Structure formats: C-alpha cells, structure tokens
Structure 1
C-alpha cells in the first residue's frame, strides 16, 4: 500500500481524522487498534493524545514521546482493505 498520511486532526476521545496522499480519508478510533501500554501509555491522557503530529518525511503520525503508527495499518483500517500480514485483524 505505502500511502502517506498528509493530514491529521484530533477529534473527540481517541478519534483521529486522517487523509492520505491518494485523497482517501476517514475517522479512526485509535483506542480500537492499540493498547495503552509501553510507548503508548501516555496517549491514554486525552490532552496528550490531542498533541498528535504529522511527520511528512515518514508519511505517518507521531507523538513527542516517540510513539508512532504504521501508515499502512491506518490506511487499511480507513479503507477497509486487509493487509496480508494482519489477516486476523478485525475492523470495527
């Protein structure tokens, strides 16, 4: 897939609006795809979660603590296209 994220907007709770370079866009609830453990622990704080940033060089989103998410997984969730390596993943 390899589609870069070109826009991110934090919404209510753990939802993010994402737009990809091919103009696919949608809203994803990050709490449905990650556990708030390890590097993702700080994201449980909604104020911190809202500080999400776009890194155009990487084509994905990140937080200052070093947490980031694979843009292919996010693209797959937004477009409802399965990734072969994540075939057991269930989309909400």
Structure 2
C-alpha cells in the first residue's frame, strides 16, 4: 500500500505503508485491506484513517527524506 504525499514546503514522495502494516497492531491491521487503506484523509495536517490512526506529517517527511525518497522543490 502506497500513497503519494505532498508537503507544504513543496516536497513530495511516495510513502509505503508496508512497514507500518507489518506491525500488526489493532490500529494498523485494518490498513492491510486496500479498501480501508484508500479511506485515508488529512485531519489537522496529519495523515489519518477512520479508526483514529494518525501519522505526523513531520515524521513522514523525515522518514521519506532519510530514505532518499523525498523530491524537493528546486530553489
């Protein structure tokens, strides 16, 4: 499962939820269902799902940047 994320600084990247889904917790387990995963939305700047799972935009930005998967807007 992947999402194309765009950030307010103009950076963007493809985020894979596979590592998160592999945690197999009460909150992450539903993300393995493609129909449920597709219900993602933004709430208060966070990536969220209806079950209350929220992911910090700063943490997602950092993770993509560290992995070299964040494309930044040219200066």
1:61-81 residue CA offsets vs partner (Å, 9 max, x unmatched): 10111111122220012222x
Give the 4+ runs in structure 1 shifted more than 2 A.
none
Q: How does 1:1-20 map to 2 (within 5 A)?
A: 14-20=1-7
Q: Provide structure 1 residue ranges, at least 5 long, that are not aligned to the other structure.
A: 1-13, 81-90
For residue 36 of structure 1, report the CA deviation from its aligned partner: 2.9
- Residue 54 of structure 2 aligns to a residue whose secondary structure is coil
What TM-score comes out, normalization by structure 2 length?
Answer: 0.76
For this pair of structures, how many residues does the alignment match? 66
**Unpaired segments of 5 or more residues in structure 2?**
69-75
What CA distance in whole angstroms lies between the structure 1 residues aligned with 2:37 and 2:6? 18
RMSD (CA atoms) = 1.6
